[in-house]
Amino acid sequence: MNVVTTLYFSKQFKKIVPKKISLIAWNNLLGFLSQYEVEKNDNIGEGFLKVRYEESKMLRGKNLRIICFALIRYDRLFPLTIYAKQSKSTLSQKEIRYHFRQVQAELLNTPFSFV
């Protein structure tokens, strides 16, 4: 899967991860998402996935959840939001759509291609 990240998602990531390990943790996360098998996902409907990510050594045992939008046909994965499971167990469809619209708006203003 090709991971397409946005500034919106990276800002959320920076709120969760301590600054001194943020670059290493970011690279680990991107590696994990690029190798993620969509078939083994927790599909929450309408192309949205809940990805369970455990970075126990770096983040002192935090279990993170990443809501992504998958375009399987184009082999693209768009991370929408990230949160610690300890702080919130699940997101509503309304919250997910809000994050989707934020990422969509940013991508519409950024030139990129699906080819």
Burial tier of 72 (Cβ tally within 10 Å: 0-12, 13-18, 19+): exposed
Per-residue pLDDT tens digits for 59-98: 566 788 899 999 888 889 999 999 887 777 778 899 999 9
- As a whole number of Å, the end-to-end CA separation of the chain is 14
pTM: 0.82
Q: Give me the sheet containing 76-84, strands edge to edge.
A: 2-3, 76-84, 63-71, 48-54, 42-45
In this structure, what DSSP letter does residue 48 have? E
Which contiguous run of DSSP H or E holds residue 34?
helix 22-34
The type of residue at 93 is: Q
Domains of the chain: 2-108 (3.30.2310.20)
The SS3 of residue 45 is strand
pLDDT of residue 61: 60
pLDDT of residue 67: 92
Per-residue pLDDT tens digits for 5-24: 999 999 998 888 877 777 88
